[in-house]
Chains A and B, each alone.
Chain A
Amino acid sequence: MMKYNWTTLEGILSAQLDLKKLSLSYKKLLIFILLSLFFGCVYGSVMGSYGGIDSIQIIYSGVKVPMLFICSFFLSLPSFFVLSTLLGLRQDFLYAIGALLVCQSGVTIILCSFMPFTVLWYTSFSDYKGVIIFNGLMFALASISAQFILRKFYRPLIAKNKRHLWLLRAWFAIYSFVAIQMSWTLRPFIGYKKLDPQFFRDEAWGNAYIELTNIIINYVIDKLLK
């Protein structure tokens, strides 16, 4: 562990980590999974503190945020592997996976840097919908910011072979598709104060896309009727 210190974090955020040296084996990539787990757990705990610092939601959310990232990643991985083989990009698979894991670690590190803002928001405002929107905004900002990291790591791959860009787009499509449903299934992350903390909501087992489509269609119909 002495090898991985603050320099590693700086290397991730500035995209100057030498993946070619680190990606010598799949075992070396475990460090990025552990980073995602650690920082995801930390931010998840802060998310769950909305109901109070003694709320069990802290532990639930501390487990669920890393689960969201890791489960979405590994569910999307088999199709990424097959597509990279079909497109003739297998020899770069280890580097590509390393870049994606670094990006994911970057998302969780950036989220943790937003922790003070989240705490300030919780102490300033108590509206539940506002808290959901705020946390959604933090996740969106962290994801967008991490794209800068990913683009820098992926630049040499794309310069080598433009098919990497298409593979990356396919990855985003599959990962987003899975992650959106995963986040819906794993809720609640924040915990509505008027309800008892639960790991899963009983009535929350549903489909994020159907719910989203219903919201959009109802909104459009309301607007048209007015």
Chain B
Amino acid sequence: MLQEWFHQLDQILRGELTKLSALRSGSINISLAGLVVILLLLGMFYGGCIGFYSLVQSNGENYMQILASVVKIPLLFFLTLNVTFPSLYVFNTLIGVRLSVPTALQILTATLGVMMTVMASLGPIVIFFSLSTSSYPFIVILNVIVCSISGILGLSFLLRTLDRLVVIQEEEEYEAIKIQNSLEVIDNHDSTEAIEADASLAKKMITDNQSSNRLKNRDQTNSVLDKVDRLITQKILDDHDSSKPLETDASMAKKAITDNQSSNKVYKQGQTYSALDKVDRFTRKKAKSVFRIWIIVFALVGAQMSWVLRPFIGSPDKPFTFFREQEGNFFIRVFESIISLLVN
């Protein structure tokens, strides 16, 4: 079972569960329970790496710090998730991005999976430096850099996944408009008149109906128009009079159907898909801005949450406590560590 859960994490990292074709089903196919267990294991491992410094500096006496960090690292990430999750769901709904609660939770948990995996992969390097260096400010900066790198990669993953969900939603809306217009044209078609005139009228209606902020990409417009041709041509074939030659109808049908453009990103031969790929289409500016602001909020909340839950490393000058007194903040402490490194 553990192997299956790791395989699922592997699929998340590869981007297989968050690519456009996988997201079109409306939700992400992730087992939350399994992913949470893996996150706990990875978080506990990194907590052990981060608390190892205190064990080495105290010559094995201060083992409580490592136990505390093993608990606090997973706690840090899950508390940050709890604090920021409601705002992600609410703001997405406000800007019109339809994200159900389970899907939002799956996406955020997958994001934590990416972060924890990157942190755990850098854990051996943290252990090595904890063994070989006695400088506390250096270890603080090193762990901040490790967490920053994992945060950047994890939030990039989140951003790309949210962008893909918006693109899918926009495609569905465009499809709905196009089908609605086509159905109107077909329903109102007068069989005594040539259908070509109606087809061009349908196209004009579709392009006129789009707002100035939509369908700016010419390829996407052509894709929609080709689908209109396909629908209308299908109607021609369905209504074909067997007493008349089929060639004209068939050539129209072939042209429309074979000119179908793929709605997925076109990859060059040999290029593979990545979880961090940008979506090559336009997404709503408002949605983009809201996502980016939310990501900054997530980063700030995570940083300050780490300050609230300190100590993780354990200063060699101070006795062990599970929590320190609340004073100052994360950013001042990082700044002081950098100055301390340079001055000493």
Which A residues contact B (CB, under 8 angstroms)?
75-76, 78-79, 81-83, 85-91, 160-161, 163, 174, 177-178, 181-182, 184-185, 205-207, 209-210, 213, 217
Extra contacts, 4 of them, besides A81-B121, A86-B157, A210-B341 (Cβ < 8 A), are A88-B272, A89-B274, A91-B272, A178-B125
Q: Is the interface of A mostly helix, strand, loop or mixed?
A: helix
CB distance from A75 to the nearest CB of B (A): 5
Judged by a CB distance under 8 angstroms, whether B129 is at the interface is yes
The minimal Cβ–Cβ distance linking B195 to chain A, given in whole angstroms, is 45
Cα of A78 to Cα of B45 in the assembled complex, Å:
14
Assess A207 versus B121: contact at CB under 8 Å? Given A86-B114, A87-B274, A88-B15.
no
Does B1 sit within 8 A of A, measured CB to CB?
Answer: no
- B-side contacts of A209, CB under 8 Å: 138
6 contacts across the A-B interface (CB closer than 8 A) = A75-B125, A82-B121, A88-B274, A181-B129, A185-B132, A205-B132
A82 interface neighbour in B13, B128, B132, B274, Cβ under 8 Å: B13
Closest chain A residue to B276, Cβ basis: A86
Could you tell me which residues of chain B, from 120 to 175, have a CB within 8 Å of some CB in chain A?
Answer: 120-125, 128-129, 132-135, 138, 153, 157
Chain B nearest CB, measured from A182 CB (Å): 8
Task: Tell me, rounded to whole Å, the shortest Cβ–Cβ distance linking B109 to chain A.
Answer: 17
Contact B125 A207 (CB under 8 A): no
For A89, the chain B residues whose CB sits under 8 A away are 272, 274
- Find out whether the CB atom of B124 lies under 8 angstroms from the CB atom of A78: yes
Check A86 against B138 for contact (C-beta < 8 Å): no
Considering the complex, give the chain B residue whose CB is closest to the CB of A79.
Answer: B121
List chain A residues, Cβ under 8 A from B121.
78-79, 81-83
Return the CB mask of B307-344 against A: 1 if under 8 Å, else 0: 00000000000000000000000000000000001101
Which chain A positions have C-beta within 8 A of B277?
Answer: 88
Interface residues of B, dominant DSSP:
helix
- Set of chain A residues within 8 Å of B129, measured between Cβ atoms: 181, 207
* B128 contacts A181, C-beta separation under 8 Å: yes
- Establish whether residues A181 and B133, one from each chain, have CB atoms under 8 Å apart when the complex forms: yes
- Find residues 223-245 in chain B having any chain A CB closer than 8 Å to their own CB: none
Docked CA distance A89–B341 (Å): 37
Q: Mark B82-126, 1 if CB is under 8 A from A, else 0.
A: 000000000000000000000000000000001001101111110
Tier of interface size on chain B: 20 to 34
B11 to chain A, nearest CB (A): 10
- Judge if B258 is at the interface, Cβ distance under 8 Å: no
- Other-chain residue from B10, B114, B157, B342 in contact with A213 (beta carbon distance below 8 A): B342
**Chain A residues, CB < 8 A from B271:** 160-161
| Known A-B contacts A79-B118, A81-B121; A88 and B128 likewise in contact (beta carbons under 8 Å) | no
Whether B14 and A217, one on each chain, are in contact in the complex, defined by CB atoms closer than 8 angstroms, is: no
Q: Report the nearest B residue to A204, measured CB to CB.
A: B132
B342 touches A206 (CB 8 A): no
- Quick one: closest B residue to A72, CB to CB? B128
In the complex, A185 Cα to B277 Cα: how many Å?
Answer: 39
Set of chain A residues within 8 Å of B10, measured between Cβ atoms? 85
How many Å lie between the Cα of A24 and that of B135 in the bound state? Answer: 44
Could you tell me the distance in whole angstroms from the C-beta of B131 to the nearest C-beta in chain A? 8
**Most A C-beta atoms less than 10 A away, residue of B114, B128, B273:** B128
A172 vs chain B, min Cβ distance (A): 15
Closest 9 CB pairs of A and B: A88-B274, A78-B121, A207-B133, A82-B121, A185-B132, A79-B121, A85-B13, A88-B272, A160-B270
Contacting pair A161 B133 (CB below 8 A): no
Instruction: State whether the Cβ of B275 lies closer than 8 Å to any Cβ in chain A.
Output: yes
